[in-house]
Amino acid sequence: MVNLDVEKTLSELNLDEKIALTAGTDFWHTVPIERLNISSVRTSDGPNGVRGTRFFNGVPAACLPCSTALGSTWDVNLVEQIGELLGDEARAKGAHVLLGPTINIQRSPLGGRGFESFSEDGLLSGILAGYYCKGVQSKGVGATLKHFVCNDQEHERMAVDTIVTPRALREIYLLPFQQALRICQTKCFMTAYNKVNGYHVSENGSIIDDILRKEWKWNGLIMSDWQATIPFLRSQLLPNNNHYRFGTYSTSEAINAGLDLEMPGPTRWRGSILSHAVNSRKVAEHVLDERVRNVLKLVNYAEESKIPFNAEEKGLNRPEDQKLLRRAAAESIVLLRNNGNVLPFDKNKSIAIIGPNSKVASYCGGGSAALPAYYAVTPFEGVSKASKAEVSFAQGAYAHQCLPPLGPLLKTVDGDKRGFSFKVYLEPSEERNKDTKAVDELHLISSTGFLADYKNPHLKSDLFYAEMEGVFTPEEDGLYDFGVTVIGTGGLYIDGELVVDNFTKQRQGTAFFGSATVEEYGTKELKAGTPYRVMFKYGSRPTSKLENRGVIDFGPGGFAFGASKRRDLEESIQEAVDLASKVDQVVIVAGLNGEWETEGHDREHMDLPPGSDELISRVLDVNPNAAVIIQSGTPVTMPWIEKVNVLAQAWFGGNELGNGLADVLYGDVNPSGKLSLSFPVRLQDSPSYINFGSERGRVLYGEDVYVGYRYFEKTATRTLFPFGYGLSYTAFDRSDLSLQVDSEKEVLEDGEMVTASLTVTNSGSVAGAETVQLWIQPPKIANIQRPIRELKGFTKVFLQPGEKKKVSISVEKKIATSFWDEIRKSWASESGDYTVLITGTGDEVLSAPLTVEKSRYWLGL
């Protein structure tokens, strides 16, 4: 198909067709207009992998390390390659637009989606996001910067009014979007759910029109955010009785403010309501035309990509992609402590692997960032494969909230495949005879099924019944717990015995976006090596017996069933302690997972799951050189910190997390990660502690510009580990700092660059990468409080032992020295004497003076 002549097409559209184009047709697609050859654009989540268009039984995908992990690489080349991989993955899924990256700010360790964003610092976030988007769009796939702006908590995220000063809005929260656009003009922006200073962002013209379009001269498409993930009351349902709640809240206000596309479809706020608004002149037709024009330009971009419309979804899982993901997992790991150079471990020595995350692949956080991975390598698998000696294991403690999925542990009844059968019937089992045939049969591995997009031509309504069957052969004798969570009804049978009843007793829970029951439990004593027939009977959403049905309605419903051997915590920890006392090399893998860090709700505290701290502490008592590996997307408390000699932050590491961890533990990769966010000692030390979460519908950003390291340095508050910190297996020296200021015709104008040049030397015995960080320390200016220093540039360089390299970091002088002047309503680079600071691995700081001779004030990118 050829590109549309946008203006000609616009003139040929009738009012109804124009209106139709400004909303989605379903969850992932825009509306096509066949009469004028206007195709449907496909979008897909998300920040750390491309899901495709199916929540239920979707095509697996590559899963990247979470964004705080990628942020901790400080590597623009790696992140650009990751973007290229995402572009290829999107093409394989037939997606023209990727709904990522997320570049909100971690103003609190408790933010439920903190793991989805790169950093607490806007410059680091924005630069990495820019290269991420550059990689994605090099493949002809549109990137989407989100969530614009101040979507930094989950608590009442659709209703909360973010009260923020103009200065903090500019210097902290808008900065990553502004910086990203300097590197890559993305095709799309996604508005945040929340309000900013009284107005929902999707209808806040001062932000999405005045700043984004007019001041920054950006000319892409602005779409709303997708579904909410919090329960709400029946009285809050929309007039058309559709149970979904989304990121568009009005008709005229949103159109006039600049929101081009309401997603997902079908429309709730446009359609006949928008037609009435145009006819009554609440929306001028030329304003509607501008919204449609941006949609048509995106359709043209999709046409140019050569990605077929309504394409079949496929997977890639190429060897080169696996290699890249392994590199990303390893390079994101931050070595926080290595007293006595305990690491790297020796592959020829036996090793004990201990802890709740050892045999669990915590490869991503929860919510819309989660997706089925092609595969996921656990830490136990990765270390075992790399080791040349005996490997032993002890559980020690669990980290799950709900029981771990049983599906991956099952075998089909015929024994040929991992997983279980999924058969769908029109009648419940008691009303069927033996000759009744299933109307659908699938093979599944995941025993968590979100059925929002499940369809079958034989089903005329959301009411149906499913039977899922497989064989479970436990590895250990013992009492096993089984659990069932449903939107609908369900029961788990083992060898014909009902073990979990979620048919008759149902209680409202928070799973599946607040729509499901709590997890109901049952137990059964099992013998190791004995095969047990597992049957899960499920009735879809209309069979639910919950009294409160005024929750988000995602079609047919959902189910989850899991299992775990019951362990006495004290006995299990003691087993781990006994094992650790007998071996030289120990690695403890603990942390969080997608249950603890997820879209829809914020964390209640910074602590590890129950039992984890005691496990770590007691193992360290008998083996002080045990390497503690923490997996989380955001900081956790570490009450055992004074005991630990070896500590690393491994994040949610994607498909290759286990192999990447093994590479670092055994020294095949020298760790080079630097923290992308500050780790406070305790929650009370975080700058947003008294101002986090919605309070009667609003949240005050009371820390103002003092977010993250800006606060800790200004108040001299000790951190557990500071922003930008990370160790290496080698040592680096930095020397010979010089500054060069380039100016056209010796006039201080836009584009004047400051280049810091220095020599970096690998003074150790191991090859490795150093991240050089450039900071600006401002002068004292009357009536203006500024942070002690601010990050303004960085670069990463790889060096062999003894090698020296000259490196340079260039920054635009006016940008590097400016703050937001609320009186002038512009950026201000005030005259005065500034200082350039250069840091990296270790405590060494280089400095050089920088003078701004003439004050100047500016707007724009």
Give domain status of residue 782, yes or no.
Answer: yes
Question: How far is C-alpha 353 from the geometric centre of its chain's CA atoms?
Answer: 27
Secondary structure (DSSP) of 177-221: HHHHHHH---SEEEE-SSEETTEEGGG-HIIIIIIIIIIS---SE
Q: How far apart are CA 86 and CA 82, in angstroms?
A: 6
Active site residue 843: no
Q: Do strands 188-191 and 221-223 pair parallel, antiparallel, or not at all (unpaired)?
A: parallel
Q: Is residue 249 part of a domain?
A: no
Q: With CA atoms as reference, report the closest residue to 626 among 679, 577, 591, 570.
A: 577
Whether 108 is covered by a domain: the verdict is: no
- The answer to the question of residue 209 being in a domain is no
Taking the C-alpha atoms of residue 394 and residue 574, their distance in angstroms, rounded to an integer, is 10
Distances (CA, A) of 183 to 76, 82, 134, 791, 820: 11, 16, 7, 17, 21
Of 6, 106, 52, 279, nearest to 680 by C-alpha is: 106
Q: Which pair of tokens denotes residue 309?
A: 């419309």
- 3-class secondary-structure state, position 10: helix
Q: Which of 45, 88, 225, 260 is an active site residue? A: 225
CB 440 within 8 A of CB 464: no
345 domain-assigned: no
Q: What would the DSSP string read from start to end of 48-76?
A: TS---S-STTPPPB--PPPHHHHHTT--H
Domain that includes residue 827, residue range: 732-858
What is the C-alpha end-to-end distance of the chain, expressed in Å?
35
Strand-pair partners of 849:
835
Here the contacts of 410-417 (C-beta below 8 Å, separation 24 or greater) are 410/447, 410/470, 410/471, 410/472, 410/534, 411/470, 411/471, 411/472, 411/473, 412/443, 412/470, 412/471, 413/469, 413/470, 413/471, 413/533, 415/471, 417/443
Alpha-carbon gap, residue 34 to 1, rounded angstroms = 12
Helix (H, G, I), strand (E, B) or coil at 746: helix
The tokens describing 272, both together, are 């006949």
Q: How many residues would you count in the chain?
A: 861
Compute the half-sphere exposure of residue 551: CA atoms within 13 Å on the CB side of its CA. Answer: 24
| Predicted TM-score (pTM) above 0.85 | yes
Tell me the helix, strand and coil percentages in the chain, rounded to 5: 25, 25, 50
Amino acid, res. 650:
A
Query: For the chain, what is the domain count?
Result: 2
Residue by residue, DSSP assigns 822-859 as TTTTEEEE--EEEEEEEE-SSS--EEEEEEE-S-EEE-
Which of these three, 566, 584, 602, is where a domain ends?
566
Q: With 0-12 CB in 10 A as exposed, 13-18 as middle and 19+ as buried, what is 662? A: buried
Residue 22 lies in a domain: no
> Can you name the residues that pair with 143 across neighbouring β-strands?
98
Backbone angles phi, psi at 410, to 5 degrees: -90, 160
For residue 468, give the CATH number of its domain.
2.60.120.260
Inter-helix orientation angle 76-92/122-137, to 10°: 40
Q: How many beta carbons lie within 10 A of that of residue 434, not counting itself?
A: 4
Within-domain flag for 296 = no
Domain boundary residue among 545, 566, 587? 566
Compute the chain's Rg from CA coordinates.
27
Q: Which of 566, 587, 604 is the last residue of a domain?
A: 566
Mean pLDDT, the chain cut into blocks of 10 residues (861 residues total): 89 98 96 96 93 92 97 98 98 98 97 97 98 98 98 92 98 98 98 97 98 98 76 32 66 98 94 96 98 98 95 97 98 98 98 97 89 95 98 97 95 93 96 92 95 91 97 96 97 98 91 86 98 98 77 77 96 98 97 92 96 98 98 98 98 97 98 98 98 96 98 98 98 97 57 95 98 97 94 98 98 97 97 98 97 96 94
The β-bridge relationship of strands 489-494 and 532-539 is antiparallel
What residues contact residue 254 under an 8 Å CB cut-off, 6+ apart? Answer: 202, 203, 224, 248, 262, 269
The helix (run of H) or strand (run of E) holding residue 291 is: helix 285-304
- CB neighbourhood size of 316 (10 A): 17
- CATH number of domain containing 776: 2.60.40.10
Q: What angle do CA 212, 118, 88 make, to 5 degrees?
A: 85
3-class secondary-structure state, position 556: coil
Per the domain annotation, does 661 fall within a domain?
A: no
